C-alpha cells in the first residue's frame, strides 16, 4: 500500500507527538511506500535532518506543504497565527492529495482539520481516510466525533478512548485500539549501569530516580510536584538518593526549586535538565535505579494518554513507579511489571519508590516482566497491525 501521512506539526519539535509521528512513518515505510506531508521545506537536507533528529531511518519521502507563517503573529497573537497556519496547511494538503491521488492508497493523519477538508472533497479523491486520535473532545466540541463518524477508520491509543467514541456513536467495527510504542533495540542497549553513568556524566556512587520527558503537557503538570513532596519522606532513609528530571523546559525550574525549599529537602538532591539528544536517552534510563512516571489524576492522563516514556522505560529494563490510572493500567499492572502509586498522593509515591530501593530483587523481577510485555509494543508491530486494519477497511469500502 501507499500511505499519505498528513501532519501540521512543524518538524522537528521537542514535543513528543513529533517523535511519535516520525517513528510511525518509519515503521510503516518498512513494508509500504509512504509520503509524509508536513509544513517543512521539502529538500533532501531538511528531510535527512528531521530523521537524524529523531534517530529514525530516512526510508520515506517528506513533502513540504504550503502554509502561511507570519512570525509577527506567532510571537504576539499566537491563536490567530495558529488558525491561519492550520487552515492554509489543510487546504494545501487537500489540493496535493487530489493532484497525487493515483499514487496514494490510504490517507492517515492525526490532524482532524486536514481530514475534514479531505472528507468534503472526497468525491474527487475517493481515498480511504483514517484518523488517529489521542484525545476525546470536551463537551460542546463534537467536531472530532462528527468527523470520526464520517471517516473510514479511527485508530485510538487507549481502550478508554475507544469506549468514549463508541458511546458517542462511532461504529466500533471501524475503530482500532493501538497504543504507542517503542524502538526496543534502541532502548535495550548492551551497557552496564556504571558504564551508562560514565557516558552521561552521572556520579557512580548515588541512587538515581529519573524522570524523562517534558515537564508538562498542555500546561498540565506531569507529576514533578508530587515527586518533590514525596522526596521529603525518602531523603533521610536514602542519603545517596538523587532525583533527575530530564526533558525541560527549564522555565519551570524556579517554581520547582521553591517547592523543594518548602519541603526542606537539600537542593542538590535534584537536577533539572533540558531535552537531551534522542540517541542519549537510553543511557539516562540505563543509568537509573528507578524510573518515574507519576502522572496526576485528571481526564487526560486517566483516559487518553499512552505515554512514550512508559514503553521506553519498559524496554530499558529498569523498574518503574507510575500512577494507578485506567489508561496506564491497560499496560502496567501493580506488583506484576511495575509499582503504581495513587495519583497525586505523595505518601503513596514515596512508599512505592522506597519499596523498590529497599528490594532490588523485586525491581529486577518487575523490570523483566515489563520488558517481556513491551515486545508486543514496538513501532514495527504497531505498524503491521495498523496496515492490516486499513487494508481491511479498504477492501470493504
Residue 376 and residue 373: Cα distance in Å, rounded? 6
User: Of 10-19, 23-32, 35-44, 369-378, where does mean pLDDT reach its minimum?
Assistant: 35-44
pLDDT for 166 equals 95
pLDDT for 71 equals 65
Cell numbers that stand for 129 in this block: 481516510
Instruction: Render 162-186 in DSSP notation, one character per residue.
Output: HHHHHHTT--GGGEEE----B-HHH
Are residues 61 and 144 both part of a single domain?
yes
Are residues 12 and 53 both part of a single domain?
yes
Are residues 198 and 311 both part of a single domain?
yes
pLDDT for 44 equals 55
Instruction: Render 14-71 in DSSP notation, one character per residue.
Output: SSHHHHHHHHHHHHHTTTSEEEEEESS--SHHHHHHHHHHTT----SEEEEPP----H
Are residues 235 and 291 both part of a single domain?
yes
Residue 282 and residue 314: Cα distance in Å, rounded? 11
Q: Name the band, by pLDDT with cuts 50, 70 and 90, for residue 75.
A: low
Are residues 133 and 212 both part of a single domain?
no
Full-model pTM: 0.93
Length of the chain: 397
Grid cell 533540558 is found at 274
Beta carbons of 348 and 342 less than 8 angstroms apart: yes
Domain interval for residue 18: 2-181+378-392
**Top-confidence residue, 155 or 71:** 155
Does any domain span residue 201?
yes
Q: What is the mean pLDDT of residues 79-83?
A: 75
Q: What is the mean pLDDT of residues 7-35?
A: 94
Could you say which DSSP state residue 391 is in?
Answer: H
Flag whether pLDDT at 345 surpasses 70: yes
Does any domain span residue 283?
yes
Sign of the dihedral through C-alpha 67, 387, 171, 162:
negative
Are residues 203 and 285 both part of a single domain?
yes
pLDDT for 123 equals 82
Cell numbers that stand for 231 in this block: 522526596
Are residues 306 and 256 both part of a single domain?
yes
Q: What is the per-residue pLDDT across 117-160, written as a single tens digit (0 to 9) for each?
A: 999 988 878 899 999 999 998 765 688 899 999 999 999 999 99
Q: Name the band, by pLDDT with cuts 50, 70 and 90, for residue 73.
A: low
Does any domain span residue 397?
no
Flag whether pLDDT at 187 surpasses 60: yes
Neighbours of 21 (CB within 10 A): 21
Q: What is the per-residue pLDDT across 191-206, written as a single tens digit (0 to 9) for each?
A: 999 999 999 999 999 9
Does any domain span residue 340?
yes
Are residues 147 and 213 both part of a single domain?
no
Are residues 329 and 279 both part of a single domain?
yes
| Domain CATH number, residue 319 | 3.40.50.2000
Flag whether pLDDT at 72 surpasses 90: no
Total structural domains in the chain?
Answer: 2
The rounded percent of the chain whose pLDDT value lies above 70 is 95
- Exposed/middle/buried for residue 190 (C-beta within 10 Å: 0-12, 13-18, 19+): exposed
Are residues 34 and 96 both part of a single domain?
yes
Does any domain span residue 171?
yes
Are residues 334 and 356 both part of a single domain?
yes
Residue 215 and residue 134: Cα distance in Å, rounded? 19
Q: What is the per-residue pLDDT across 286-332, written as a single tens digit (0 to 9) for each?
A: 999 999 999 999 999 999 999 999 999 999 999 999 999 999 999 99
pLDDT for 66 equals 86
Does any domain span residue 172?
yes
Are residues 168 and 308 both part of a single domain?
no
pLDDT for 48 equals 73
Rounded to the nearest integer, the mean pLDDT of the chain is 92
Amino acid at each position: 500500500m501507499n500511505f499519505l501521512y498528513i501532519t501540521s506539526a512543524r518538524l522537528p519539535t521537542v514535543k513528543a507527538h513529533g517523535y511519535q509521528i516520525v517513528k510511525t512513518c518509519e515503521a510503516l515505510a518498512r513494508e509500504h511506500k509512504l509520503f509524509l506531508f508536513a509544513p517543512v521545506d521539502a529538500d533532501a537536507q531538511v528531510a535527512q535532518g528531521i530523521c537524524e533528529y529523531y534517530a529514525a531511518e530516512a526510508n520515506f519521502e517528506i513533502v513540504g506543504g504550503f502554509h502561511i507563517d507570519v512570525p509577527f503573529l506567532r510571537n504576539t497573537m499566537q491563536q490567530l497565527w495558529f488558525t491561519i497556519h492550520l487552515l492554509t496547511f489543510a487546504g494545501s494538503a487537500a489540493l496535493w492529495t487530489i493532484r497525487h491521488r493515483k499514487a496514494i492508497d490510504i490517507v492517515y493523519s492525526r490532524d482532524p482539520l486536514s481530514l475534514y477538508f479531505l472528507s468534503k472533497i472526497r468525491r474527487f479523491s475517493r481515498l480511504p481516510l483514517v484518523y488517529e486520535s489521542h484525545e476525546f473532545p470536551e463537551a460542546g466540541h463534537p467536531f472530532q466525533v462528527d468527523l470520526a463518524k464520517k471517516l473510514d477508520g479511527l485508530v485510538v491509543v487507549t481502550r478508554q478512548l475507544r469506549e468514549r467514541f463508541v458511546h458517542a456513536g462511532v461504529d466500533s467495527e471501524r475503530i482500532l485500539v493501538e497504543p504507542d510504542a517503542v524502538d526496543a533495540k534502541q532502548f535495550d542497549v548492551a551497557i552496564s549501569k556504571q558504564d551508562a553513568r560514565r557516558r552521561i556524566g552521572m556520579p557512580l556512587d548515588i541512587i538515581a530516580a529519573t524522570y524523562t520527558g517534558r515537564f508538562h503537557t498542555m500546561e498540565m503538570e506531569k507529576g514533578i510536584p508530587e515527586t518533590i513532596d514525596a522526596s521529603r519522606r525518602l531523603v533521610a532513609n536514602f542519603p545517596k538518593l538523587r532525583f533527575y528530571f530530564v526533558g525541560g523546559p527549564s522555565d519551570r525550574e524556579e517554581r520547582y526549586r521553591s517547592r523543594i525549599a518548602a519541603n526542606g529537602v537539600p537542593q542538590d538532591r535534584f537536577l533539572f535538565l533540558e531535552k537531551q539528544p534522542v540517541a542519549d536517552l537510553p543511557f539516562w534510563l540505563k543509568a537509573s535505579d528507578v524510573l518515574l512516571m507519576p502522572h496526576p489524576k485528571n481526564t487526560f492522563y486517566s483516559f487518553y494518554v499512552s505515554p512514550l516514556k512508559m514503553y521506553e522505560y519498559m524496554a530499558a529494563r529498569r523498574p518503574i513507579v507510575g500512577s494507578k490510572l485506567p489508561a496506564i493500567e491497560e499496560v502496567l499492572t501493580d506488583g506484576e511489571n511495575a509499582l503504581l502509586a495513587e495519583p497525586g498522593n505523595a505518601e503513596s509515591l514515596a512508599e512505592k519508590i522506597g519499596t523498590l530501593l529497599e528490594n532490588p530483587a523485586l525491581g529486577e523481577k518487575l523490570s523483566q516482566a515489563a520488558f517481556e510485555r513491551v515486545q508486543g509494543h514496538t513501532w514495527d508491530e504497531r505498524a503491521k497491525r495498523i496496515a492490516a486494519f486499513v487494508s481491511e477497511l479498504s477492501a470493504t469500502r
